[in-house]
């Protein structure tokens, strides 16, 4: 990739323990910060719903905290798809290790999906992409970006059984929900807007909140809410890699000119069409194939970036093959694309057990496709991960405590290690670190891995703390 990317994953928790899911989430969070010291817990209240001890930053450069009852793990800032994949899996490994060590595996399981089947509530996997402040965000480019983000669901959707109970349904989706036995996307029925500032209750395809968490003079942060949590590595690489390529095109003003008539309607309609025909109305009145439009984006990216580096070439080649399979033989994508894999797997299950898509047993099985513990996950045995995105167990293990070497995460981690033995109070955030008695340290450049010299900074904080202790 040619940009900083990070993921925020909200994990569902299944519990048969009398104490309930909330107690399991709390125990696992405490295990991470108090028992095994994967990071530094917050010593302060961050917000009205984030009290002290609610979470903290991890030594691998990421963050873990409880968000509205869900355990949420954020990757560090990543500059390559390999890093993004391994830090995403490191979060899963932490939760798996915690449940095993706490003796909870028979009663508690974490899942990386997006819908609570029982309440109908949704929870997300937010994508974050650093964008140059000077990127030409004119009307035409925003519409083109919206079209891509809508149509990419054909290879990024996680799939789900039946329609979304409790979805925030517009009138245009009521009929589709009633007719759907299987959906391509878990989030589509919960997206109500194309562009909007807030992240809850009026969820949009593009979140417009301008919060760069970096030097605001140089950078924006594209914050996406509409994507499903990916299970298979190939799906995650495609989702984030192709989106990064589209932003590369945006920054050089080379996006293909295309605008959908209604992005939200197209998103929801495609989700309810696992068998096609995947036709979408454009703003100019034409109706075209969604795969054809995705081809326009691929052609533009291939023309501009082919030969840039090995990872880009691999991504372009894999993207091309996936689009071809969507057009010719979708089952070729079993093990590569989440929703295709899930649908194929459960079609085999239904045939073997003589069941229908409405059988409640199938919804229980659906959750197992998203199990964090690889011993329980039903999708992993089918995974086919193209080079260069196969992550070894050793690489995943290293990602538990070690940050990426080429981004700001390395600087943050180094500063956290320096703070860990101190006795004075401190505050750690993505772009700033504060400590009592001394000036703030700003990490405004996400591409800078080198930490500032903290010797004098720590000494000032220690002196102030010592004086305060003497006067008490």
261-312 residue pLDDT tens: 999 999 999 999 999 999 999 999 999 999 999 999 999 999 999 999 999 9
Going from the C-alpha of 191 to that of each of 134, 166, 222, 263, 350, the distances in angstroms are: 28, 13, 17, 10, 30
Let me know: does 4 contact 79? Beta carbons within 8 Å: yes
Q: Are 176 and 163 in contact (CB under 8 A)?
A: yes
Residue 201's pLDDT is 62
Q: What pLDDT, on a 0 to 100 scale, did the predictor assign at position 209?
A: 85
Residues in the chain predicted with pLDDT less than 70, given as ranges, are 164-179, 197-201, 461-472
pLDDT at 464: 60
Helices 20-30/81-101 angle, 10° precision: 110
pLDDT of the residue at 174? 61
Q: What percent of the chain has pLDDT over 70?
A: 93
CA–CA separation, 472 and 468 (whole Å)? 7
């Amino acid at each position: 990739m040619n940009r900083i990317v990070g993921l925020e994953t909200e994990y569902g928790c299944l519990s048969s323990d009398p104490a309930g899911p909330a107690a399991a989430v709390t125990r696992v969070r405490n295990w991470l910060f108090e028992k095994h010291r994967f990071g530094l817990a917050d010593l302060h209240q961050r917000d009205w719903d984030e009290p002290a001890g609610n979470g903290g930053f991890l030594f691998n450069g990421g963050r873990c905290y409880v968000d509205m009852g869900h355990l949420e793990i954020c990757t560090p800032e990543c500059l390559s798809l390999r890093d993004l994949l391994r830090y995403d899996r490191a979060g899963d490994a932490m939760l798996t290790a915690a449940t095993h060590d706490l003796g909870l595996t028979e009663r508690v399981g974490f899942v990386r999906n997006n819908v609570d089947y029982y309440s109908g509530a949704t929870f997300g996997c937010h994508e974050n992409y650093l964008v140059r402040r000077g990127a030409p965000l004119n009307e035409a480019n925003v519409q083109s970006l919206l079209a891509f983000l809508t149509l990419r669901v054909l290879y990024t959707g996680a799939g789900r059984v039946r329609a979304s109970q409790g979805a925030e349904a517009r009138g245009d989706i009521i009929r589709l929900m009633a007719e759907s036995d299987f959906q391509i996307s878990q989030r589509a029925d919960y997206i109500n807007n194309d562009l909007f500032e807030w992240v809850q209750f009026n969820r949009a395809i593009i979140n417009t909140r301008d919060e760069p968490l970096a030097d605001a003079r140089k950078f924006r942060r594209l914050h996406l809410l509409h994507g499903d949590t990916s299970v298979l590595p190939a799906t995650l690489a495609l989702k984030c890699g192709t989106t990064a390529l589209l932003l590369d095109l945006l920054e050089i003003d080379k996006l293909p000119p295309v605008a959908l008539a209604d992005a939200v309607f197209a998103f929801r309609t495609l989700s309810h069409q696992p068998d096609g025909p995947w036709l979408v109305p454009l703003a100019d009145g034409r109706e075209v194939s969604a795969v054809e439009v995705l081809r326009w984006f691929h052609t533009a990216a291939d023309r501009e970036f082919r030969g840039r580096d090995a990872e880009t070439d691999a991504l372009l080649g894999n993207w091309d093959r996936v689009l071809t399979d969507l057009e010719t033989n979708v089952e070729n994508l079993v093990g590569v694309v989440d929703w295709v894999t899930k649908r194929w797997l459960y079609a085999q299950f239904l045939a073997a057990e003589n069941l229908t898509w409405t059988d409640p047993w199938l919804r229980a099985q659906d959750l197992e496709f998203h199990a964090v513990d690889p011993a329980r996950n039903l999708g992993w045995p089918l995974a086919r991960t193209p080079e260069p995105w196969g992550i070894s167990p050793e690489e995943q293990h290293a990602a538990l405590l070690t940050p990426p070497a080429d981004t700001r995460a390395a600087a943050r981690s180094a500063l956290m290690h320096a703070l860990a033995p101190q006795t004075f109070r401190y505050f750690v955030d993505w772009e700033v670190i504060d400590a009592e008695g001394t000036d703030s340290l700003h990490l405004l450049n996400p591409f800078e891995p080198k930490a500032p010299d903290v010797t004098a900074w720590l000494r000032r904080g220690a002196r102030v703390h010592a004086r305060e202790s003497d006067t008490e």
